[in-house]
Amino acid sequence: MPTEATPLPNASTPWASMNNTTHSNDEAHDDIFNEYTGFRVQTWPYVLSIDIIAAIGIVGNILTMVLMTSRTQRRYSYAIYMAFLAVFDSLVLAMVATEDTLDHLHDLLETFLNSHIVVCKLWAFILECSLIISPWLLMSMSVDRYVTVVHPRYTERVCRPLVSIVVSVIICVVAMVLVSPLVHAAEYIPDDETKEGYICGVVNPDLENYYMFLSAIMESLLPVSLLFGFNIHTVVTLCRSTRSVSHIMEANVRKITISIVLVSVLSALALVPFAIVYLIEYILIVSDTDRYLIGLFGSLWHVFNVVRLVNYAMNFYVLIISSNHHRTLLIQKVTCSRNANQTQMEMTKVDGNDTRVDTNISAITEA
């Protein structure tokens, strides 16, 4: 395990696998070859998969931002989390796709990152912050739904747009503080692998352990564990509640909650395999295990990297597929329907008085 010079991490290749994974043909880049296992990943299909997922995901995230920042949606807490999530997920998709394309197709990633120390530091800072922020926003949104379903008496205090904005900003600030030591320590150091030139990296060996803590724990395992806990409790509470829901508010709370739970759980499931493989590989390197076994887990990295990237691309599509209400809102937004607001309001008899009630699913989540 290298302890004197560690390249500053990037998303296209894990630092733990950099010493045993190479291109079999430096000019053609036909495949990515692991010298210890003989495992090959075809470069073009791999990079094409990454770029397609990124393109589809960015389009979906843009539509999410348009939908969640609309006048009818931005009044509600979960929409704030979804809008923030769309921004940082788009950053991850764009940066990972750029890294893999430059690295595996053009062999220009190191040239780009080493063009100036500021470029390397800023790139790593934005990417690592986004990777931390995204799962914690999902976890916060799960807590929002948990409070709405399990502790409805606290909904007016907790599930508000202002609270969602404050929580999102706090997550961003904490992520920046956590990443700062890594980025601050970055400097140009001799390239121990090629023995030629310099790379943007860190000299402090303790930062290797710290980076693994960020990558495996803070970016996935910890927020995913909390997310599953809150969502399981939320789903159990929903299942125990009355199945024959007659009140429109209760029915709509169920629908929006189920959609958000699906978004959170499916996204979390996409993160878990990558984090487990990454953590196991790191433990094997620290324990100086057989190089073949280390290479085996290093070979799996590219496969699970594609699965992980799906997490940042699918939120919009899961929400639209699972929620008829959001499909309707999207159609109204795209077609610029002028009567969109009128269709969300209807006259309802409440306690003998004519009262205008918003039947928008998201609106009654605060009830």
Q: What is the pLDDT of residues 350-362, one digit of tens each?
A: 333 333 333 333 3
Instruction: For residue range 209-228, list pLDDT tens digits in order.
Output: 888 888 888 988 899 899 99
- Read off φ and ψ for residue 151, nearest 5 degrees: -130, 65
Give, as one character, the DSSP assignment of residue 196: S
Least trusted range by pLDDT, from 242-256, 275-289, 305-319: 242-256
Cβ atoms 75, 164 nearer than 8 A = no
pTM value is: 0.79
Amino acid at 252: N
Closest CA to 72 of 161, 188, 146, 2: 161
The alpha-carbon radius of gyration of the chain (Å, integer) is: 23
Length of the chain: 367
Q: Is the pLDDT of residue 2 over 50?
A: no
Contact 129, 175 (CB under 8 A): yes
pLDDT digits (tens, 9 = 90+) for 152-186: 888 888 889 999 999 999 999 999 999 999 888 87
Contacts of residue 208, Cβ cutoff 8 Å, sequence gap at least 6: 1, 3, 6, 15
Task: Output the average pLDDT for the chain.
Answer: 76
Q: Answer whether 203's CB lies under 8 Å from 190's CB.
A: no
Return the pLDDT at 174.
97
